[in-house]
Amino acid sequence: MTAVQPQPPVQDGVEVGTTATTAVKGHSRVPWRFLTGRAAFYLFTLWAAITINFFLPRMMKGDAVDQYLSRNRNVSPEAADALRALLGLDTDKSLLQQYVDYWALLLRGDLGVSLLHGLRPVTEVISQALPWTVGLVGFATVVSFAIGTIGGAVVGWRRGSRLDGLIPVTTFLSTIPYFWLGLLAIALFSVNLGWFPIGKAYGVGMTPQWSAEFIGQVIHHGTLPAATIVIASLGGWMLGMRNMMLTVLDEDYVMVAQAKGMPNRRVLWRYAARNAVLPQIQSFALSIGFIVGGTIVMEMVFSYPGVGKLLLDATNAKDYALMQGVFLVITLSVLVANILADVAYAFLDPRTRQTEA
């Protein structure tokens, strides 16, 4: 399917085929077909994700309440039944009825209560963990993207020089498993050198507050996790940008710019890098989505109190409500990031508005 808009011969009194037409078109025309296509896709994906989310715990063996009982022995059978009813686990309802109830609760923003965290609402538990993940991993992702893209542009520009050797090095760093890199960093910098604390987001006995001491603690604890994320993800950004640069530098407009005698710096950043960065920006928007869910391993290695650790703990304890909630938040953030990527791309590259199906 192509979403090419049938172009009327004359539009707003501007002749066809001139640059004026495209300028007018770019401002006044909304590519409805493209937009509705994307919206339908996102709604469908959202429905699929929520449905998978509904069925996952029902496929799992073992029961949250059984697990809870084995941790807390002094719960009477009546209390256990009450718990089951509270968690929506009583099986006297049909699957369809449960599914409808699930949607009704979801639309009201009610994700249930977490057994693992003393029956507190799941939304509250998640919203406590979310800032840690988003702050740390978001910062690391931005830094990695900036260094990798600028570095990749320079490496691509100085093709054939000694800088080419950087690519295998960063690729090597991104092929080693992240958890191993993290453990090595802890062994080296925390245990042997003692420069950084081992894991956690802030020191024992601190309460989160806006004081200089606490913020210093957070930075001190976050340096190692952030640095390892940057090291592990730098290679992808660099390789992608460098490969795009090599392709773009072969284009005629770069040659024309050089033939005109433009300064190299201007050709590099305004002509070549500006076009080569398009796919990078799209992957950056996508990687925003993986900020929330992609760092389970980091949070485990550094015992960082974020969303990924929440999911792991919830899965191990069969705390379904929390597990579903986290999975939903992760999926939602990926979806939002995809929408961002689409919007960014449609703004930056007009061709996608017309041909993307």
Can you give the binding site for other proteins, defined by CB under 8 A?
A: 1, 41, 44-45, 48-49, 52, 56, 59-61, 157-161, 164, 171-172, 175-180, 183-184, 186-187, 191-192, 243, 246-247, 249-250, 252, 255-256, 258-259, 261, 264, 267-268, 290, 293-294, 296-297, 300, 311-312, 315-316, 323, 326-327, 330-331, 334-335, 338, 357
Shortest Å, Cβ 72 to other proteins: 22
Q: Which is nearer to other proteins, 29 or 158 (CB)?
A: 158
Annotate 147-185 with b (16+ C-beta within 10 A) or e (fewer). bbbbbbbbbbbeeeeeeeebbeebeebbeeebeebbeeb
Shortest Å, Cβ 257 to other proteins: 8
Shortest Å, Cβ 38 to other proteins: 10
Shortest Å, Cβ 208 to other proteins: 26
Q: Strand, helix or coil at 221?
A: helix
Structure tokens at 124: 């509250």
Amino acid identity for residue 357 in this structure: A
Shortest Å, Cβ 36 to other proteins: 13
Q: Which is nearer to other proteins, 281 or 317 (CB)?
A: 317
Q: Strand, helix or coil at 11?
A: strand
Q: Which is nearer to other proteins, 218 or 273 (CB)?
A: 273
Q: What is the DSSP letter of 164?
A: G
Annotate 30-51 with b (16+ C-beta within 10 A) or e (fewer). ebeebeeebeeeeeeeeeebbe
Q: Which is nearer to other proteins, 25 or 309 (CB)?
A: 309
Q: Which is nearer to other proteins, 21 or 171 (CB)?
A: 171
Shortest Å, Cβ 103 to other proteins: 18
Structure tokens at 343: 């919007």
Shortest Å, Cβ 179 to other proteins: 5
Q: Which is nearer to other proteins, 42 or 99 (CB)?
A: 42
| Distance between CA atoms of residues 276 and 287, nearest Å | 18
Q: Which is nearer to other proteins, 11 or 67 (CB)?
A: 67
Residue 53 in contact with residue 327, Cβ under 8 Å?
Answer: yes
User: Taking Cα atoms as reference points, which of 151, 137, 78, 86 lies closest to residue 112?
Assistant: 86
Cα-based angle 67, 70, 71 (whole degrees, multiple of 5):
90
